[in-house]
Amino acid sequence: MLDRKFVRENAELVKENIKKKFQDEKLVLVDEVIQLDAKARELKIEGDTLRSDRNKISGEIGVFIKDKNEEEASKRKKQVVEINEKLLTIEEEEAKLNEEITKRMMVIPQMIDESVPIGKDDSENVEIEKFGEPFVPDYEIPYHSDICESFNGLDKESAGRTSGNGFYYLVGDIARLHEAVIAYARDFMISKGFTYCIPPFMIRSDVVTGVMSFTEMENMMYKIENEDLYLIGTSEHSMIGKFKGQLIDEKELPIAMTSYSPCFRKEVGAHGLEERGLYRVHQFEKQEMIVLCKPEDAMDWYNKMWSYTVEFFRSMDISVRTLECCSGDLADLKVKSCDVEAWSPRQQKYFEVGSCSTLGDAQARRLGIRMKTENGNQFVATLNNTVIASPRALIAILEQHYQKDGSVKIPKVLQPYMGGLEVIKPKQK
């Protein structure tokens, strides 16, 4: 959420930003905010004047009572009553105006970074760099769910009976490999100096609206019936929420944490044959990283964070690339974002395995997360990045390390988490 004063003083700049995001239907919100804000400020001035008058009159009452001038004291008391009645009306109107302003401010998108490429949707995202060769072997690589089933490692049929479409059982070596990747991701991030955390997997609505836009919430979140609780779609939500309403000494910044959680997403809509397996599901596990820092340090952390994800995948001999998200593909709270994508030798294209974002002070402003400095209190900057989201990371390993005989090589860094196994072999042909 932008600062109201910033919108008031930079209306055309805010409108230009909206146009860059191809959300012209929101342009009217800027003028509405400015008009409502002008009324709210007028009411505040009127209210402050009345409060000042009331204080002055209250002082006079004391003097008249001391002088035993009951008639004048009584007149002043009536004036105070009249002022209080006016103030009540003004305060109620001012509160309504501020509520309407906040509703609009919550929808106006964050100012994007100047380096963000302009484009309407994800088809116009820009490749930044490839890491590792996007190879294609001289033998056929099966669909990832078929690879899993050859190990007796995937059971979607049973999950359909217990939970419906979009759920799955992982079994045996495949389940073990899945957990090995997550355990390695945890230790990898700890080695980078991040503090490990397991957060709550449910959060209240005021945290949800603090960390994401309304559109994202409707498309992603599962709500607990008759409770003010939502299942998290990523641990970033509860990790940033951890600092809600906090005033942090700037000497404690940056705060860098890595968190594990299951994640739950509606994944509304049809997604096609390529996602009939484990690519887009309602439940998965994730290792995340979040950072709270001074605004001037945010871009350095952004570049550091996405590079950690690249390093993580390259340590498993997974070929990846980074993709700059264009303006139209950025969620409203984001200043800048890039995806890390793994190469699929079967599809001969890349697919998303992680996303890194810097959100400026958007989440901090909504949640009231500030830092205490010598120059007063200021909002912090927040960032988040995926270390891994499995089973997508699992898919990348299965495809890129699949062998001609149907076996899968275990990346060396994962072998200690697999009891020393160097390769897993199919149970059936």
Superfamily of 122-424 according to CATH: Bira Bifunctional Protein; Domain 2 (3.30.930.10)
Question: CB within 8 A of 117, min separation 6: which ones?
Answer: 124, 125, 126, 324, 326, 327
CA angle centred on 409, ends 403 and 415, rounded to 5°? 175
pLDDT at res. 219: 77
Domain boundaries, the chain: 4-105, 122-424
Q: What is the pLDDT of residues 223-248, one digit of tens each?
A: 999 999 999 999 999 999 999 999 99
Q: Is the pLDDT of residue 21 over 90?
A: yes
CB atoms under 10 Å from CB of 243, counted, come to 20
Helix axes 172-191, 298-314, angle to 10 degrees: 140
Q: Out of 190-204, 210-224, 311-325, which region has the weakest mean confidence (pLDDT)?
A: 210-224
pLDDT at res. 83: 92
Mean pLDDT to the nearest integer, 342-368: 96
CATH topology assigned to domain 4-105? Helix Hairpins (1.10.287)
Q: Max CA-CA distance within the chain?
A: 106
Task: Name the residue among 118, 124, 46 with its Cα closest to residue 87.
Answer: 46
Q: What is the pLDDT of residues 383-428, one digit of tens each?
A: 999 999 989 999 999 999 999 999 999 999 999 999 999 999 998 6
